[in-house]
Amino acid sequence: MGRWLSWMRWSGRLRRRTFAWQMLLASLAFTVAYVFIERIAGRGATLIAYPFFFAAALSLCVRRLHDQARSAWWLLWVVIPVLGPLLLGALLLLKRGTPGDNQYGDDPRVRGRDYLQVAIHEPA
């Protein structure tokens, strides 16, 4: 899957560092789009930017929860005033993912590393 399309993926796992950077980039892109649209077409037209931001943010949060072997249902903690968003934020930003593979995919910390792979080169 292409790098840009991976933002809208709902399966797999996502490391803390990648989650933080991608969430920051999504927030910056939303802010720039919001300001641009507001100046061009007015405040009411900015509603067009929200679905794209929320879809990207939800995708990132779901994959971050998958890294901890938790389902997307954990996002419902956000409906509990004050304590829910704090708990969810702590889980997403501070809690380390499960080591090794889990039911949501392989460990992103070791993805692409194969210590037993031997490269055989032909002599020139």
Rounded distance between C-alpha atoms, residue 66 and residue 81, angstroms = 24
104 within domain boundaries: no
Q: What is the pTM of this model?
A: 0.80
54 within domain boundaries: yes
Question: In the structure, what pLDDT confidence band is assigned to residue 4 with cuts at 50, 70 and 90?
Answer: low
Question: In the structure, what pLDDT confidence band is assigned to residue 2 with cuts at 50, 70 and 90?
Answer: low
122 within domain boundaries: no
Q: Phi and psi dihedrals of 98, rounded to 5?
A: -70, 135
Specify the higher pLDDT residue, 17 or 119: 17
Question: 92, 94, 95, 96: which is closest to 107 by C-alpha?
Answer: 96
Residue with tokens 């901890």: 68
120 within domain boundaries: no
Q: Is the pLDDT of residue 111 over 90?
A: no
**What is the tally of structural domains in the chain?**
1
Q: Which domain holds residue 64?
A: 5-93
The structure tokens listed for 91 are: 């889980």
37 within domain boundaries: yes
